[in-house]
Chain A
Amino acid sequence: MSSIRLLRRAGNQLVTAQILPIVSAPELIAVEAEWGKYRAGDKQSGNPAGKGIPEHNHWNWAEKSSDLRFTAYRCLGIECEGDVQGLILVSTLAASGRHKKHLGKPVLYVKYLESAPWNLSDYVGDERRFAGVGTQLIRIAISVSFEEEFRGRIALHSLPQSEGFYGRFMTDLGVDPAVEGLRYFEMTEEQVQNFLKGGEV
């Protein structure tokens, strides 16, 4: 199992985490049982938006587990200190690139990406455990893209709350009316190299 680094916020320390190269449907259900405890608050209290409830609060990975019936989908994760810290679901069925630099060439599509709720200020404020989970999940997506011979190219639809982050290292190709009006981002081969070195768009 490959290892990566995460930033443990307590002590501001780099720690070693493990990549979970395949997360099965039963494992997803188990993860959601843990993450769901943090999501439950909104279901009962109906907290208003912008006051501590992220846009994906209603997500449920247990439901997403049904996607794994299809061989084109692959779920990977990051584990650290005994807990799953982040999950990513990708489609290895090549999507067609829309960026002018790789128009029509295959890209790896990230269907879902999420960091554990205890890593988000919205849920736990300053008590959050790790930083960099999303970054490492993107790095994992890039690595899978290379594995699939897509040269690191990836694509995703960002939730509005995350557009600013993805816009720093991916190309924003605008609102996609076909997918809930979400903004669509792609990463070119050059942007992949930039991202891995810490460079921005």
Chain B
Amino acid sequence: MKLKEMSDSAFLKWAKAEDGAPVTAGSLRGAFEKSETEAPEHSVPVMKFAFGSLITFQRRKNAWTIEELARRAEIDLDEAVSIEEDPSFRPEPRAVYQLAKVLSLPTKKLLVLSGNAEQVSPRLEQAAIKFAARSRTVEKLTEAEMNALSEFVSELVEDDERKVL
């Protein structure tokens, strides 16, 4: 192979620019992960629910809005909303990595939870199920929420009574 010429000064400039940093091109998926076309759909949908809840909780812990999260992670706002709100949504691996970075979460586990990699441990599955179950809010309802709830429940009860009569 005939190598193209590069001066030592040019090489040193680029060498210093990359020094110590990972200069990688290719794929976020690896040997233990399936390719894009065969990315797994979880047999346990709760995993994806746990993923969305985890992102929401970490975001709230930082007191960020969804917009702020999307901005920091450099992902689209609609993708951020879908991640948090739609358990059937599978984000791109890049978005998962970006979220892992800004929220200081382990990337590999996040790839599994998000449906981008095969599940590697039953322990993670159990932890996800437990988290999903406990992540439902137990905060007291606000007065407005209580009124809305009462009104809706009353309507349901009355509707039911009307049918019985």
Contact = CB atoms under 8 A, between A and B. Distances in A.
A162 B9 CA distance: 22
A142 B14 CA distance: 15
A2 B12 CA distance: 19
B21 interface: yes
A125 B156 CA distance: 64
Given A60-B30, A139-B3, A197-B7, A49 B107 contact: yes
A143 B4 contact: yes
A180 B28 contact: yes
A197 B9 CA distance: 8
Interface in B1-37: 1-33, 36
B165 to A, nearest CB: 56
Contact of B104 (A48, A63, A160, A166): A48
Interface residues of B, number: 49
Contacts of A128: 19-20
B22 A50 contact: no
A31 interface: no
B42 interface: no
Contact residues of A: prevailing secondary structure: mixed
Interface residues of A, number: 76
B29 A180 contact: yes
A177 B90 CA distance: 13
B131 interface: no
B108 interface: yes
B90 to A, nearest CB: 11
Nearest to B75: A181
B45 interface: no
Interface of A: 2, 4-7, 9, 14, 19, 21, 42, 46-51, 53-60, 62-63, 89, 110-115, 119-122, 128, 131-137, 139-140, 142-144, 146-147, 152, 156-162, 165-166, 168-169, 175, 177, 179-183, 192, 195-198
Closest 6 CB pairs between A and B? Answer: A134-B23, A132-B15, A181-B92, A198-B10, A60-B31, A58-B30
